[in-house]
Amino acid sequence: MNKFAIATALLSAAGATAVTLAGAPNLLGPVSISPAGDGSMVASGSLDAARASVDTVQFIGCTISTDTHSTQSVSCSARDSRGTQLACVQSAPTFAQLAAVASVGRTSFIRFGAAASKCTFITVDNDSANL
């Protein structure tokens, strides 16, 4: 029995539900949309997991927009595997919001909150563990 088969058998016996192999996408962090408890909603997920999902439904991302008058806004949107969508926009974003959205890349895990279509918070975690 080879080492991989032994390791798989041990993990299965221990109750592990997933094994990530070198080079395989890390599917931890699929897009999730849920109530926050205060009437707002929260979306979270990693870009890589959404892109690699087999359902072809999931997405998550954020955008910085500006117009000819230098008015800026940030927006975030997401859709989970069930088709539930959440989107928000923040007019006149803070520097921290602009920096967070500008930092989004393949290794990003995004989490944002929305109430009445307005972004209540935006968190971006850039980490190789998100790949």
Domains contained in the chain, number: 1
> Residues 44-70: pLDDT tens digits?
999 988 988 889 899 999 999 998 887
Q: Is residue 84 part of a domain?
A: yes
23 Cβ contact partners less than 8 Å away, ≥ 6 residues apart: none
Q: Is residue 6 part of a domain?
A: no
Q: Is residue 115 part of a domain?
A: yes
**Average pLDDT in the 74-102 region?**
95
Q: Is 81 exposed, middle or buried (0-12, 13-18, 19+ CB in 10 A)?
A: middle
> What's the predicted TM-score (pTM) here?
0.75
Q: Is residue 119 part of a domain?
A: yes
Q: Is residue 125 part of a domain?
A: yes
> Residues 21-30: pLDDT tens digits?
344 344 467 9
Q: Is residue 47 part of a domain?
A: yes
Structural domain boundaries enclosing 84: 26-130
What's the pLDDT score for residue 107? 86
